[in-house]
Amino acid sequence: VTVAVPKERAPGERRVALVPEVVARLVKGGARVRVEGGAGEGAYHPDAAYLEAGAEVVERDALLRGANLLLTVQMPQDLVEALEPGAVAVGFVQAHKNPDLVRALAARKATVLAMELIPRITRAQSMDALSSQATVAGYLAALHAARLSPRFFPMLTTAAGTIRPAKVMVMGVGVAGLVAIATARRLGAQVFAYDVRRAAVEQALSLGAKPIELPISAEGEGGYARELTEEEKRIQHEALREHVAGMDAIITTAQVPGRRAPILLTEDMVERLKPGTVVVDLAAESGGNCALTRPGEVVEVRGVRIFGPLNLPSELAVHASEMYAKNLLNLLDLFVAKGEFAPQWEDEILQGALLMREGEILHGPTKALVG
């Protein structure tokens, strides 16, 4: 099997799909690994480290010659034309944001595995890049909240007086939210948590957060939340309005699959926040949980700073790449047998994550999107 790893070209993207440690393991297993020169720079892996791990380092135009698998973080459009028949392209596709990419892949009759479609089932946990990258995002969300806050997070007893711990609320306690809770707690904050799924509330409790419990239970399919009804939204708004007023920082991560992120912090709620309060909105990429979020920016409204970071995992490129590469290594077990390219198409993980097979779009919502 021949595996190819390009240098990521998306603006601001520092991650790389395979790190040298994982390359060495693939090479040991009989794979041929081809890496574009400079691919690891953003994550501090020089070409020499890839060579030492047994990879070939090549120019971009030679990358896909004879390659069975293209492994990427954000799937690049410029390589689509170079994909050879039978090859599989793997990476985050985000079809709803990149319809042109999907059309180009379909025109090329490509076979595409979208990392965001890996099923959230126990057996696929080690391949679950949404989770590994959300772990990074949740950690950085807490750090950014602390950094933007004009207050200490920890309680301090000093000769210059006693500082009370910051109050931090985490709204949306999925993978990122749980890590944000743990990180804010480690920084010494008093943490409150809100989610519409009961299981999430219990996990927050076990991490030492104080849950905000409302009479709403919105478990959707596959462990995700469903969209709230208008009545539930009203109850949520009324209750959260009271709670947010006392917070020093609010981290929001709420998502509903296939929909715009739900608005949890409305403009009138932001008005109730104390000046100096910080909001870090991890849902900025899918519309934001705060009505005033501007993706990629810090906006200040009456002393409240609202940050909507984009691509946080790229900021922690070393470990984000390491975790992503391990996810791919585990996924490759479904593509490679005894060093040969032998995809197990019937496996439920590949069935779930295959966006397109030889140009035919298999994922319903994507098909509807690009027609």
Annotated catalytic sites, by residue?
120, 125, 128, 131, 224
Q: Which helix (H) or strand (E) holds 49?
A: helix 47-52
Report if residue 135 touches ligand NAD, rule: CB under 6 A. Answer: no
Instruction: Mark 260-289 with x for binding to ligand NAD (rule: CB under 6 A) and - for no binding.
Output: --x-x-------------------------
Under rule CB under 6 A, which residues in 152-171 are in contact with ligand NAD?
A: 171
Distance CA 358, CA 323 (A): 29
Q: Which stretch binds ligand NAD (CB under 6 A): 34-42, 128-136, 149-157, 184-192?
A: 128-136
Distance CA 193, CA 209 (A): 6
Q: Contact, 292 vs 174, CB < 8 A?
A: no
Q: How many other CB atoms are there within 10 angstroms of residue 98's CB atom?
A: 17
**CA torsion 226→232→234→237, rounded to 10°?**
-60
Q: What's the N-to-C CA distance of the chain in angstroms?
A: 33
Instruction: Mark 177-206 with x for binding to ligand NAD (rule: CB under 6 A) and - for no binding.
Output: x----------------xxxx--x------
Among 47, 205, 224, 347, binds ligand NAD (CB under 6 A): 224
Residue number with CB closer to ligand NAD (203 or 314): 203
Q: Which residue is nearest to ligand NAD (CB)?
A: 174
Report if residue 229 touches ligand NAD, rule: CB under 6 A. Answer: no
User: Which residues contact residue 313 at a Cβ distance below 8 angstroms, ignoring those fewer than 6 apart?
Assistant: 15, 133, 136, 137, 320
Among 39, 175, 187, 361, binds ligand NAD (CB under 6 A): 175
Report if residue 127 touches ligand NAD, rule: CB under 6 A. Answer: no
User: What is the C-alpha radius of gyration for the chain, rounded to an integer number of angstroms?
Assistant: 22
Report if residue 88 touches ligand NAD, rule: CB under 6 A. Answer: no
Which pair of structure tokens corresponds to residue 38? 């400079």
Site residues, ligand NAD (CB under 6 A): 120-122, 124-125, 128, 130-131, 134, 171-177, 194-197, 200, 223-225, 228, 253-257, 262, 264
